[in-house]
Amino acid sequence: MVDRGGKKNAFAVMENQFQQESFEPTKDIKQAWDAVYKALRAEFGEAVFRSWLKPLALQAFYHGTMEISVPTRFMRDWIQSHYAARLLELTRAQNQTIERVEIVVVPQSSAIEDETPAPTQVTKSNMNVMAEKMDLLSPLDPRFKLETFVVGKSNALAHAAARRIVESQTMPFNPLFIYGGVGLGKTHLMHAIAWAMREKHPEKMVVYLSAEKFMYQFVKALRGGEAMAFKEIFRSVDVLMLDDIQFISGKDSTQEEFFHTFNALIDQNKQIIISADKAPSDLQGIDERLRSRLAWGLVADIQPSTYELRLGILQAKRALSGMDVPDAVLEFLALKIISNIRELEGALNRLLAHADVTRQAITLETTQEVLQDLLRANDRRVTIDEIQRHVAEHYNIKLSDMHSARRCRNVARPRQVAMYLAKQLTCRSLPEIGRKFGGRDHTTVMHAVRKVDELVGEDPSFAQDVDVLRRALTG
């Protein structure tokens, strides 16, 4: 062993002298800092103060430099980028001899006085504990695995993308953005990826949660003065999965927070997986910067299901249930219940429960009886063709004008009404509706929907017209 004892001692003495001679802030500096600390609290408000500024402490002063300490590196970076400029201004206003403010990291072992020891260094395991304590994770459904996800034409792309992410050693694309209508399997696929990732990479911190929860917990953290911990946790995950991101549209501060998290993770080469009910470009109320970033990686849609897929899913569920359901019944359900997979599953479950309780065999007859209401609702589902026909008749224009390029008011207005009703009464996306109206752009449909909404609010007789049409169509 090399003996460095002597040297070490010499250093210690030197450090000591330094501290005593020139590092210790004078009374003036201390007073200035106290005033600045108060000013920060008044200026940024209690919530920000508690989240970010409270732990700031005067550390040292030398040669015009005031050193302010914070407990973590992350916090130093955050203060540096968000508050440093203002901090300097306030400081200089108090005392002209202060020329610079430096933020330094001084881990505080006694900073947090509760049962968890204060993490001086952020480690994966204490992050996980913190994430759980702050309730930042959504539970994963054990039924939603890759093995139980039935693949068909409508969801093949999204499924292949999920597999790639799970199986690949490197990151094939980032972010992965999965979108599709309600009940088509987005959440199932997200959970399946999370399960597989956790299994394959137990050392990685895989965080799955709904955007709703993200927002709720973010707001809660802000209020409770825990925004720091919140940010720190989300910026240190390895895989971030956010379900139903459309939920944060219009919620500006949540979006802003997510945007920063998103960028920080992408910069560190961490995988992000997002789901939504629409394509990035169709997400209204989401900031343009964020929307374009969401589309940076792979965008995979889940289309409305096909008959084959619905039948495949029913067959898989039947096998799982171990119950006896005739093929004819499954085929009948796959044909009739086209709204979404969730409803299809619900129908089969009801049938199984009924058979279980009544001890009757499942037949086509019992199926029709037990599922009466559901079947009727699915029968009633309106198609865009029907809407166009009805609206054209109502306004006395030609059906072909629904597709034509003519723009005169007495044709254009009914066409807008039809687009509006198509948006309201069918599960078709804006681009799909646009296509059905002579290949128009989705923005045209969006404009039509807004315009009709506006007119409905302004003109009672117009509103009544629209209402009559809606009733006729939905029976």
In terms of C-beta density within 10 A (0-12 exposed, 13-18 middle, 19 or more buried), how is residue 356 classed?
exposed
Least Å from the CB of residue 330 to ligand ADP: 14
Secondary structure class of 60 (helix, strand, coil): strand
Task: Tell me which of Mg ion, ligand ADP, none is bound by residue 197, counting a contact when its beta carbon lies within the kind-specific cut-off of 5 to 8 angstroms.
Answer: none
Q: 318: Cβ–Cβ under 8 A, 6 or more apart, which residues?
A: 325, 330, 348
Name residues contacting Mg ion, limited to 15-44 (CB under 5 A): none
Q: Residue 356 is which amino acid?
A: D
Cα torsion angle, 422, 426, 430, 436, sign: negative
Interaction partner, residue 473 (Mg ion, ligand ADP, none; CB < 5-8 Å by kind): none
In the complex, least distance from residue 198 CB atom to Mg ion, rounded to whole angstroms: 19
Residue with tokens 């009914």: 414
Q: Phi first, then psi: what are they for 180, rounded to 5°?
A: 175, 170
Radius of gyration of the chain, Cα coordinates, nearest whole angstrom: 30
Q: How far is the CB of 236 from Mg ion (least distance, A)?
A: 26
Pairing of strands 57-62, 65-70: antiparallel
Taking the least distance from each CB to ligand ADP, the nearer of 115 and 147 is 147
DSSP 19: I
Least distance (Å) from ligand ADP to the CB of residue 461?
38
- Burial, 116: exposed, middle or buried (Cβ in 10 Å; 0-12, 13-18, 19+)? exposed
Nearest distance in Å: CB 340, ligand ADP: 7
- Give ∠ CA 356-361-363 in degrees, rounded to 5: 120
SS3 268: coil
Partner interacting with residue 345 (select from ligand ADP, Mg ion, none; CB below 5-8 Å by kind) = ligand ADP
183 binds, among ligand ADP, Mg ion, none (CB under 5 to 8 A by kind): ligand ADP
User: 182 contacts which partner out of ligand ADP, Mg ion, none, CB within 5 to 8 A by kind?
Assistant: ligand ADP
- Among ligand ADP, Mg ion, none, partner that 144 touches (CB below 5 to 8 angstroms by kind): ligand ADP
Interacting residues toward ligand ADP by CB under 6 A: 144, 148-150, 155, 180, 182-188, 313, 341-342, 345
Quote the least distance from Cβ 142 to ligand ADP, whole Å.
11
The CB-of-56 to ligand ADP minimum distance in angstroms stands at: 43
Task: Specify the residue, 76 or 186, whose C-beta has the smaller distance to Mg ion.
Answer: 186
| C-alpha–C-alpha distance, residues 297 and 171, integer Å | 10
Contact 417, 445 (CB under 8 A): no
Do the Cβ atoms of 205 and 238 come closer than 8 Å?
Answer: yes
Residue 138 found at the interface with Mg ion (CB under 5 A): no
From the list Mg ion, ligand ADP, none, pick the one residue 227 interacts with, judged by a Cβ distance below 5 to 8 Å according to partner type. none
Q: Is residue 210 at the binding interface for Mg ion, with CB under 5 A as the rule?
A: no
Q: In this complex, which beta carbon is closest to ligand ADP, that of residue 79 or of residue 140?
A: 140
Q: Which is nearer to ligand ADP, 189 or 402 (CB)?
A: 189
Token pair 């198509």 is found at 422
Determine, following the binding rule CB under 5 A, whether residue 187 of this chain makes contact with Mg ion. Answer: yes
Considering the complex, what minimum distance in angstroms separates the CB of residue 220 from ligand ADP?
24
Positions in the binding site for Mg ion (CB under 5 A): 186-187
